[in-house]
Amino acid sequence: MKEISSLESALGVVFLNKDLLHTALTHRSYVNENPDWRLPHYERLEFLGDAVLELVVTRYLYLNFENPEGDLTSYRAALVNSQMLSAVSSELGVNDFLLLSKGEAKDIGKARMYILANAFEAITGAIYLDQGYDVASGFIERVILSRMQDVLDKKLYRDAKSFFQEKAQEIEGVTPTYKVTREWGPDHDKHFIVGVYLGEELIAEGEGSSKQIAQQSAAENGLDSKGWE
């Protein structure tokens, strides 16, 4: 495994108590498989980090946007959902430092995405405990809040499926339906292609690691196809 200092460099935080960072990287399965491991798993730190992350992001949105509560809630969801957190976690190189059981280490599909997202929250909690609110807030600002413009430009805050349905009913008087057109891969790493239909007409397709994600992708592509942006 790489030296933990390279992860600290990516995080922009040098820990005073390295055990906190190691704990934030320790999955429950590793502790179960290695009963002599001296540190706990990350779930308590994840609980703390989730609250810190939500507070920092909520404060930022409140101070920087005059939108109504509903908009701010959608913006926050786009910034702290599992897909966003796992993507950020991957970019920081967290995957290379996770302590997982042998079985869990082989699973690189959707389950790993959630582990990476949870580890990100745990790391946030560890930074908060080690160096306080200001340093934790600075970390979140660098790696999460810096993506706010991307969220706005790509409309990541929008529930594409709901929006497509509203437009389809308003303009064409039809409620869209979704059908899986292809799927492949083992249970732990499934991929789905889903089509969105208006009546019998296929409007667009989308791909994802779950049917729900593929439906959202299909709806986004459907909006683009119909010019309903």
Q: Tokens 């200092």 appear where?
A: 5
- Distance between CA 192 and CA 34 in Å, rounded? 36
- Distance between CA 210 and CA 212 in Å, rounded? 5
Catalytically annotated residue among 46, 121, 130, 220: 121
H helices of 35-159, in order, are 43-64, 69-80, 82-92, 102-106, 110-131, 133-143, 148-153
List strands edge to edge, sheet with 191-198.
Answer: 177-184, 191-198, 201-208
Question: Would you call 50 a catalytic residue per the annotation?
Answer: yes
Give phi and psi for 169, each to the nearest 5: -70, -40
Catalytically annotated residue among 50, 104, 130, 220: 50
Question: Would you call 121 a catalytic residue per the annotation?
Answer: yes
Reduce the secondary structure of 113-146 to three states and give it as a string.
Answer: HHHHHHHHHHHHHHHHHHHCHHHHHHHHHHHCHH
Which uninterrupted H or E stretch holds 191? strand 191-198
Cβ-in-10-Å burial (0-12, 13-18, 19+) of 227 comes to exposed
* Catalytic residue annotation: 50, 121
